[in-house]
Structure 1
């Protein structure tokens, strides 16, 4: 078993979730509370949760399965942020910041997946 808190990739996604929760989701209008805001926060939270859950698995293959799920949730997070930008709920500057964080995190996750699958 691995300690997820010691993984740099988990830490990156933990910080991404906190940023989305504190800086992006709060800017969405009240009418989006149960739709886009909720979905965005659940998708962003799902990424570090999947990494944490995967750390409890005994094989790299099982762990990689949870990392694949995390990647899917990250893509969902990415789209929710894009939609928020397109709907003018967040500024272009805010979107560019979160998009950069998402892309850096995605690259790190994909590299980690490749490492596990070797």
Structure 2
């Protein structure tokens, strides 16, 4: 049986975003390995990790807390992606930005749904 977080469309979409971030940052210059690459990967991994932890906690209040952390990590990732764009590491028309927008909308919807049950 799947874990509860694996049933969430939000979690599944974030996992695709994590994959995109890993593939994208693999193309960054080697001197960014311990800089922007590491930061973007950590921020991306934090999003589904916090969703999963929130679901596992069992109370709506704790779930909302971890969803807020996930939303913060997404904002961090968005900022880092803008820096990568500014430095010319990613193209302006990259689908990554739309993917992050989708995840943001899904996280907000999930937050709103859980918030109504508190």
TM-score range, shorter chain: over 0.9
Aligned: 1:117 with 2:115:
yes
Q: Distance in 2 between matches of 1:109 and 1:33?
A: 29
Q: SS in structure 1 opposite 2:89?
A: coil
Matched residue count: 114
Aligned: 1:17 with 2:15:
no
Which residue matches 2:97? 99
Q: Distance in 1 between matches of 2:89 and 2:31?
A: 11
| Cα RMSD, aligned residues only | 1.0
Any conservation in 2 of the 1:51–1:67 contact (CA below 8 Å)? yes
Q: Distance in 1 between matches of 2:75 and 2:114?
A: 20
Q: 1:68 Cα deviation (Å)?
A: 0.2
Q: Distance in 1 between matches of 2:37 and 2:31?
A: 9
Which residue matches 2:44? 44
Q: Distance in 1 between matches of 2:56 and 2:110?
A: 16
Which residue matches 2:8? 7
Any conservation in 2 of the 1:16–1:101 contact (CA below 8 Å)? yes
Q: 1:90 Cα deviation (Å)?
A: 1.4
Q: 1:92 Cα deviation (Å)?
A: 1.7
Q: SS in structure 2 opposite 1:56?
A: helix
Q: 1:27 Cα deviation (Å)?
A: 1.7
For normalisation by structure 2, the TM-score amounts to 0.93
Q: Distance in 2 between matches of 1:50 and 1:19?
A: 18
5+ residue gaps, structure 1, are none
Structure that is richer in helix per residue? 1
**What stretches of structure 1 move > 2 A for 4+ residues in a row?**
none
Q: Distance in 2 between matches of 1:3 and 1:80?
A: 30
Q: 1:71 Cα deviation (Å)?
A: 0.2
